[in-house]
Amino acid sequence: MLIYEFIDDSVKNNMILNKFPTADEFYKTYWGRKPFVVRGAVDQEVFSDLIDGDTLAGLALEEDIKSRIVITESDAAQWACHHGPFAAEHFSSLGDRNWSLLVQNVEQYHTDTAKLLRSFDFSPRWLMDDIMVSYSTPGGSVGSHTDSYHVFLVQGMGCRQWTIGRTPVQNEDCIDGLDLKVLKAGVEGNSVEVSIGDVIYIPPHFAHEGVTQEEAMTFSVGFLGPKISEMLVEYGDYLEQQELHNKRYLGQGLDACSAAFEIDPDAQNLLRSDLVAALQSDDFSRWLAVYFSTPTHDDIESMGARDKPFLSAELLACLQEGQVLYRPEHIKISMTTSSDGGINLAVYGAVVETDVAHNKLIHWLNQNSTISMKDFDLLGDQDKLMRLLTYLYNQNVLFF
């Protein structure tokens, strides 16, 4: 009994794992269901490439970048949330306690921060929304809250105390009058203290609250799915632009049951089946790849083409010299399979034309971030391979 009392309650609830679960275990046991903590999951040396506090503050001065500062008080009803852009002088007025700065989409503005994503290849990278980064001083917090997304909270420098709910919150009741969603009831759950390299996974709607003990940086890798309404609007726009599945309903087959104002069941079914046909097509698969590779924030530009494109032979010569191509982690890519077995590869919202012969290379790009001459034997026809690699290189998807 005495020993039991000494065990931290998070261990009691099997929340602390000694390494990341395998991909299989992750989706079966944790994804959307159960929080976990892995100590030292990310190597300390990874953090030296990621954004630091000063550069983060620099991003918060920019007009197009979403940032906020949250100031805590002993009474949560008095907390303040200010939205950026901020003037540089703003930071000197904040003092050294009880505030945090949070900046969204950091991996697109400080692309080295995306290197963190290499630790999360078991996650659905296509669903990743952004890396939000917070810098916080002792006492800094955004309060107890839930998010609609899945999140890995990766602790950088410093030390924070988190409380994590054991089950999802059913009815969110938030403190009134704050420009911030803070749960009135706080968080009832397990407490855990984290330091550099520790990772917490929080499923959607699980309450959590982090309070900073030592000046800290937290990297939140978030995965947010779209709402049906958002997808219907976007897919509708795509069909209109591409002139696909966009025939007009002509009232075919109507009879006396549809006189006056009633849309009879046959007419409803015909309208519904036109929509279903549009959703069941390969065009929908193709659009999904486009949609999930589009940055979720309007201000982020697509990759654009290289100023000095390479010929296939030039690229091959570099590879033959022993150079290695790599895919930077911030580039938004998604892929879907069509009914003919071909893969729709989309990068930053644009489909890269591919045929079935490229499937091996595309699978390779899905699982690896580098490619060199020694990998060629595994990847099929060299001419076709070089054509696609050259295209991807010239579009700034691959780099030496």
Contact 71, 99 (CB under 8 A): yes
Strand order across the 350-352 sheet: 333-337, 343-347, 350-352
Contact positions vs Co ion (CB under 5 A): 147
H or E, element range at 155: strand 150-155
Contact 300, 77 (CB under 8 A): no
Residue 218 binding target from ligand SIN, Co ion, none, CB below 5 to 8 Å by type: ligand SIN
Compute the half-sphere exposure of residue 82: CA atoms within 13 Å on the CB side of its CA. 15
Q: Which of 147, 266, 274, 375 binds ligand SIN (CB under 6 A)?
A: 147
Which span (76-84, 145-153, 189-197, 321-329) binds ligand SIN, by CB under 6 A?
Answer: 145-153
CB of 207 to ligand SIN, least distance (A): 10
Indicate if the alpha-carbon torsion angle 196, 103, 292, 270 is positive or negative. positive
In degrees and rounded to multiples of 5, residue 157 shows phi and psi of: -65, 160
Q: Which of 98, 119, 134, 293 binds ligand SIN (CB under 6 A)?
A: 134
Which span (146-154, 284-292, 304-312, 391-399) binds ligand SIN, by CB under 6 A?
Answer: 146-154
CB of 127 to Co ion, least distance (A): 17
H or E, element range at 292: helix 282-292
Q: Which of 10, 98, 100, 354 binds ligand SIN (CB under 6 A)?
A: 100
**Which residues contact residue 40 at a Cβ distance below 8 angstroms, ignoring those fewer than 6 apart?**
197, 198
Residue 144 binding target from Co ion, ligand SIN, none, CB below 5 to 8 Å by type: none
369: closest CA among 316, 320, 315, 333?
333
**Where do the DSSP E strands lie in 57-140?**
67-71, 80-83, 99-103, 128-136
CB of 222 or CB of 342, closer to ligand SIN = 222
CB of 17 to ligand SIN, least distance (A): 20
Contact 341, 335 (CB under 8 A): no
CB of 147 to Co ion, least distance (A): 4
CB of 187 or CB of 388, closer to ligand SIN = 187
Residue 332 binding target from ligand SIN, Co ion, none, CB below 5 to 8 Å by type: none
Strands 189-194 and 199-202 come out as: unpaired
Any contact of residue 155 with ligand SIN (CB under 6 A)? no
CB of 119 or CB of 146, closer to ligand SIN = 146
DSSP-derived 3-state class of residue 53? helix
Residue nearest to Co ion (CB): 147
Window 195-234: contact mask with ligand SIN (x via CB under 6 A): -------------x-x-------x-x--------------
Which span (134-142, 192-200, 263-271, 368-376) binds ligand SIN, by CB under 6 A?
Answer: 134-142
Residue 336 binding target from ligand SIN, Co ion, none, CB below 5 to 8 Å by type: none
In degrees and rounded to multiples of 5, residue 106 shows phi and psi of: -60, -30
To 5 degrees, how large is the angle CA 343–CA 348–CA 354? 25
Q: How far apart are the first and last CA of the chain?
A: 60
Window 283-302: contact mask with ligand SIN (x via CB under 6 A): --------------------
Which span (89-97, 112-120, 147-155, 361-369) binds ligand SIN, by CB under 6 A?
Answer: 147-155
Residue nearest to ligand SIN (CB): 134
In angstroms, the CA 64 to CA 336 distance is 31
**Which residues contact residue 101 at a Cβ distance below 8 angstroms, ignoring those fewer than 6 apart?**
56, 57, 60, 67, 68, 69, 134, 135, 136
Residue 359 binding target from Co ion, ligand SIN, none, CB below 5 to 8 Å by type: none
CB of 180 to Co ion, least distance (A): 11
Any contact of residue 67 with ligand SIN (CB under 6 A)? no
In degrees and rounded to multiples of 5, residue 373 shows phi and psi of: -55, -35
- Kindly list the residues in this chain that would bind ligand SIN in the complex (CB under 6 A): 100, 134, 136, 142, 147, 151, 153, 208, 210, 218, 220
